[in-house]
Amino acid sequence: MDYSKKNTDVFDDERAKKQLQAAFEKEESADTLINGGFQIPQTRKQERKIQTTYTLSPSIKEGIDALAAKQGYRSASAFVDELFEQVLKQAEK
């Protein structure tokens, strides 16, 4: 078997390079706007946190998890922290 010849039907170097480049490119995504112009933030800074417990209905928890994943957060907790930060900033206006 001659390993020096590549079968481009099986493996295409250029296509593989493009796939790798696309996989490792950082996607820039903007904050998401919802009703009333409220912005759901993207991930950003790290700050020391305190542990707090809130009771939510399962559907609300699922919605928070889905929005957090959509916005690129590693955890729903980080997302909720940023979300409430935005709410508090808008309430000050």
How is the chain split into domains, by residue range? 31-92
Task: Please tell me what DSSP assigns to residue 12.
Answer: -
pTM of the model: 0.50
Per-residue pLDDT of the chain (93 residues; tens, 9 = 90+): 566 666 656 666 777 777 777 766 655 555 666 666 677 666 666 667 789 899 999 999 999 999 999 988 889 998 898 888 888 888 887
Q: How far is CA 65 from CA 50, 76, 80, in A?
A: 20, 5, 9
DSSP secondary structure letters along 20-76: HHHHHSPPP-PPEEEGGGEEEPPP--------------HHHHHHHHHHHHHTT-S-H
